[in-house]
Amino acid sequence: MSRRLGVTVVLAVAVLAGSAACGDEKPKAAPTVKPAKDPLSSCVDQLVYWGTENLRGAPGQEGDYQHMGLTADKYDALRKIQKNARVIMAKGELPPTWLQEQSEAACRKIVATPKPSNTVGGWPQ
């Protein structure tokens, strides 16, 4: 057998073996998609997360509201919550549910506030 024919045979076997191996694979399951959270839960989660991070002084977490993925309303609420939390923390420990409760109250107001209908992607038209 010539060298060229030998190389061709080896390549053909490799291709067939690869095709057979691919054919035996079971199709992978589609990734599970989590349902979108309602606006209130999403808002509360964001404020609790960033409030916790900022109050504990996590390094590298400084940023503006866009870095945090917050709207201006959410950022204003976060700043107010953090300011009040620091006053409480100066006197003692912050109650365990305080941040969650304050975030829920702020987010209820934010979600209830009517939004302009003439926006696309958050930008006025």
Q: Does residue 67 contact residue 46 with C-beta atoms inside 8 Å?
A: no
Instruction: Identify the pLDDT of residue 12.
Output: 55
Quote the CA–CA distance of 41 and 38 in Å, as a whole number: 6
pTM of the model: 0.64
Give dist(CA 89, CA 11) in Å, integer: 71
Q: What is the pLDDT of residue 43?
A: 95
Tokens coding 2: 């010539």
CA distance 63 to 113: 25
What tokens were used for 89? Answer: 């923390």
pLDDT in tens, the chain (125 residues): 555 555 555 555 555 555 555 555 666 766 677 777 899 999 999 999 999 999 988 777 667 788 888 999 999 999 999 999 999 999 999 999 999 999 999 999 999 998 777 666 666 65
Helical (H) or strand (E) element with 53: helix 39-55
Distances (CA, A) of 48 to 70, 102, 104: 12, 9, 9
CB-based contact 110:74 (threshold 8 Å): yes
